[in-house]
Structure 1
Amino acid sequence: MEENINKQKLFIGSCIALVVTSMTFAIRAKLELVFGPDGVGLNLEQIGTAFAPAFWGFTLAMIFGGPLVDRLGIKKIAWIAFITHAIGITLTILAYDMNSLFIATLFVGIGNGMVEAAFNPMVASMFPNKKTKMLNRFHVWFPGGIVIGALMGWLVMDVMGLGWQIMVGLLYVPLIIYGLIFWGKKFPVTERVQMGVSFGDMVKNLGKPLFIFMVICMLMTAASELGTTQRIESLLHNSVAYPLLVLAFINGIMALGRAFAGQVIHKLQPAGMLLFSAIFTFIGLWLLTITSDGFTFVAAGVFAIGVTFFWPTMIGFVAEYLPETGALGLSVMGGAGMLSVSLVLPIMGRLMDTANATEALRTMSILPAILIVAFLGLNIYMRKKYKTPLVQGD
């Protein structure tokens, strides 16, 4: 059965599905101005509320999709992702107020969640001996897709002066491509099924202290990264002419970093990468509060170096060190991350409505500050348990 599975095509298809997910993040950032005070007339807190289901919808999809991946199979969850993506994109084009945008964003969020629920365990299952490396390569296409979406949004609306509906309609292109790639393909079973771990044992392993610790940290790593980049237009509106280009710059650095993650993983190990990431994220957020114009790109670059490895390394750490938690464990991790972003977006909007963008950024910097301490402790724990140094030699 293993011989009939085309791992390369499945991996490519999963990457393109993730491009759809990530393009929605970039396009949503541009829609903030379309539906904002100078457009439809929503205030920043209302926009945060309308965008929130992209994240808690994602969370619900991952938490329910995680165990369903084992029961229904990766293939069926992949097609659920395709269908909900198609519905969400269409409803976004038809959106005209907060409620219609809310419903459209919910379907997009469910589609995005199903992509992660299906393909994180699929990648871990297909590449059991290099999980963190291949999950980083898979997640290259999250920042990669954001770069594509940000540049497309800038070209369509700012350069060509076309309508925002055309910008959103571009999402149909990668959607159709990944649907065609998956058509008629055989998919692998999840690693939990391969290992013969029962559903009850998988659930029981979710109670391990190390897993609970990683879930708590995921709340903060995801909010630090996605909470900031999702509100980039509002946060940097007074600092640079085209905040969407800063978003493309950040995600370009992230894509390059994840593409060459293998060497970094070899040197630092997952726990070391997370500590490194927390330090640079904290410095980057603080620099963004005190810079403007060209220096904003310097600060954004430091921030990008920080958040590059957060998401895939958190997922990879669980896949590598807590494989008994199965697809559900990976889904709980991703779901926790997106849930935290759904909570952070309205809070950031309120801070920008009542105070300013600088105050919002400074408040966000508290999260990586906590993570520095948490990941320092994780490194000490991992070095004692696995007898590995913080930095590996050649």
Structure 2
Amino acid sequence: MSNSPPTTISTGHKALFLASFFTLIAAGIGFAVRGAILDDWGAAFGFTKSEQGDLTGAGLVGFGITIIIGSLFADMIGYKPLMVLAFLLHVGSAVVTFAATPVFKSKLGVDPAAAKASAFNLLWWGAMLFSLANGVCESVINPLVATLFPKQKTHYLNILHAGWPGGLILGGIINLLFVGGTAYLTRLPWEVAMAMFLPPTLYYGFVVLKEKFPESETKSAGVPFATMLAEFASPILLFLFVIHAMVGYVELGTDGWIQNIMNASIGKGATWLFIWTSGIMFALRFFAGPIVEKINPIGLLLISAVLAFVGLRGLGTEGVSPIQVLLMATIYGIGKTFFWPTMLGVVGERFPRGGALTMGVMGGIGMMSAGLLGGPGIGYDQDAYIAKQFQAAEPALYEQYKSKDVKGFMVSEKVAGLDGNKLGELNNKKPEELTADEKKVLDANLASGKYALRTTAWIPAIMGLCYLALVGYFASRGGYKVEEISGTGHHSGEQYTGGVAGPMEA
């Protein structure tokens, strides 16, 4: 099947495609900026790393909920009502998020604890609404683009999902120019930086209200819902779901923290690294389809897992040079690029009768894992390091700088990390203004982030073992083959890059 684009595209199809692309631009900008302003939130409201991780998680978990629900009901209610809902949720998330500062200030003089709790709740719900909107968009744009371009699905779906890293790049540039004390132009209030996702949101909202949407392929073909559900009885599909939960943890969970963690080590260089790895993802997803489609997808995933493990372990190693950091970030960037789209592609190829439902559930599992496990788990790892290692080494300093709040993660014990307000004050000081004790606190904060990356690196290591098992499984059955709805299988590379692509990763 040819992946070449058609010679002509109707005006309506082009408008809907661009609107779909801009939903991912908005999602990428919001995700990137949120990751960069975590320290601003910590300094302004006194949040610990665990609390910041909960906010990061809220910006992901809602996606998993609405992509599954949207996939279930898109055929019944149509694409347009869902996209209108997504637009309202995106705008609503901005309103709720921007209310945090005035509400906090209004309560601070009366009850500081209540002020902090109110700010946290507003930011949490703002992030949740944002992720709910992203999930609704994702439940629509994949089948929509497949419907718009039925003979060039892989080509246009890969272009579509280059919008996600494109949004990350734009968000990274916004962070460099306007976020933090070392902003290249001027430091703007975090609300202004966060509002940058609204222009692409307003664009896609205008197009959605104006254009007519087509009927979905599944509805047109009359595929029974029971046929889709029957695919969930496959042990291999369930195994792929488990692996994809790890994909969500390591890819989106890490991306939500990477700027914050590396900022303690290399300052604004962390944002440059974020832009660099996002650029790698953009280029590979946008231009590498013809190359990747010739590679066995399970083998590609195995190679990606090895690269992600090596890259994360390297980024988590203390005392490495800037050149080594760049090298490890490049390895990690290449490794993470194909996880999400190729996993979805495998599901689409091996379980075609599941249609959008199996892919929607797969995406939902990955995002809920990132939101419920990845973001909070990586935040907890940092607090746990502080509570154990730093407390053991510097008990007096730990008592001086620890948070009043304690947080746990799943079955792990509750710990107290560093107080976000106090850490923010140290981050705002010039290096020559820091005392010896203050430098120890900042060094401990840096070490805690590195520890979290080293710990997270074991997730792709486990994924690699899972992919190795799948290589053996398919080899024992004559090799990996693409299944067709008719029941026959053939070897094909047309969908190896996923065809249904990468995460909103926010």
- TM-score, normalised via structure 1 length: 0.92
2:356 corresponds in structure 1 to: 327
Deviation at 1:132, TM superposition (A): 4.2
Q: Any conservation in 2 of the 1:136–1:258 contact (CA below 8 Å)?
A: yes
2:378 corresponds in structure 1 to: 348
2:142 equivalent to 1:120 = yes
The one-letter code of the counterpart of 2:81 is K
Q: Any conservation in 1 of the 2:63–2:131 contact (CA below 8 Å)?
A: yes
Identify if the C-alpha distance between structure 1 residues 90 and 267 changes in structure 2 by more than 3 Å, giving closer, same or farther: same
Deviation at 1:85, TM superposition (A): 0.7
Q: Any conservation in 1 of the 2:316–2:452 contact (CA below 8 Å)?
A: no
The one-letter code of the counterpart of 2:271 is L
Structure 2 counterpart of 1:245, from 272, 288, 291: 272
What CA deviation, in whole Å up to 9, does each residue of 1:86-107 have, x standing for no partner?
Answer: 1112222222321110111111
Q: Any conservation in 1 of the 2:60–2:367 contact (CA below 8 Å)?
A: yes
Structure 2 counterpart of 1:23, from 26, 29, 36: 29
Q: Any conservation in 2 of the 1:132–1:313 contact (CA below 8 Å)?
A: no
What is the CA–CA distance in structure 1 between the aligned matches of 2:144 and 2:462, rounded to whole Å?
32
**Unpaired segments of 5 or more residues in structure 1?**
none
2:96 equivalent to 1:74 = no
Deviation at 1:54, TM superposition (A): 1.8
The one-letter code of the counterpart of 1:349 is G
1:234 corresponds in structure 2 to: 260
Structure 1 counterpart of 2:213, from 169, 176, 187: 187
2:481 equivalent to 1:358 = no
2:70 corresponds in structure 1 to: 65
Paired residue secondary structure (2:266)? coil
Deviation at 1:250, TM superposition (A): 1.1
2:312 equivalent to 1:285 = yes
Q: Any conservation in 2 of the 1:30–1:233 contact (CA below 8 Å)?
A: yes
Structure 2 counterpart of 1:259, from 275, 281, 286: 286
Q: Any conservation in 2 of the 1:23–1:146 contact (CA below 8 Å)?
A: yes
What is the CA–CA distance in structure 2 between the aligned matches of 1:323 and 1:5, rounded to whole Å?
30
Paired residue secondary structure (1:188)? coil
1:373 corresponds in structure 2 to: 465
What is the CA–CA distance in structure 1 between the aligned matches of 2:240 and 2:85, rounded to whole Å?
28
Paired residue secondary structure (1:46)? helix
How many pairs does the alignment contain? 387
Structure 2 counterpart of 1:46, from 21, 45, 51: 51
2:30 equivalent to 1:8 = no
Deviation at 1:78, TM superposition (A): 1.5
What is the CA–CA distance in structure 1 between the aligned matches of 2:147 and 2:237, rounded to whole Å?
20
2:330 equivalent to 1:301 = yes
Identify if the C-alpha distance between structure 1 residues 62 and 389 changes in structure 2 by more than 3 Å, giving closer, same or farther: closer
Identify if the C-alpha distance between structure 1 residues 389 and 134 changes in structure 2 by more than 3 Å, giving closer, same or farther: closer
The one-letter code of the counterpart of 1:65 is G
Alignment of 1:127-206 (within 5 A): 127-157=149-179, 158-159=183-184, 160-206=186-232
Identify if the C-alpha distance between structure 1 residues 195 and 211 changes in structure 2 by more than 3 Å, giving closer, same or farther: farther
Q: Any conservation in 2 of the 1:45–1:346 contact (CA below 8 Å)?
A: yes
2:367 equivalent to 1:338 = yes
2:95 equivalent to 1:90 = yes
Alignment of 1:202-221 (within 5 A): 202-221=228-247
Paired residue secondary structure (1:162)? coil
2:39 equivalent to 1:33 = yes
- What percent identity do the matched residue pairs reach? 32
Deviation at 1:150, TM superposition (A): 1.3
The one-letter code of the counterpart of 1:11 is F
Identify if the C-alpha distance between structure 1 residues 101 and 316 changes in structure 2 by more than 3 Å, giving closer, same or farther: same
The one-letter code of the counterpart of 1:189 is E
- TM-score, normalised via structure 2 length: 0.72
Aligned-residue Cα RMSD (Å) equals 2.2
What is the CA–CA distance in structure 2 between the aligned matches of 1:100 and 1:187, rounded to whole Å?
34
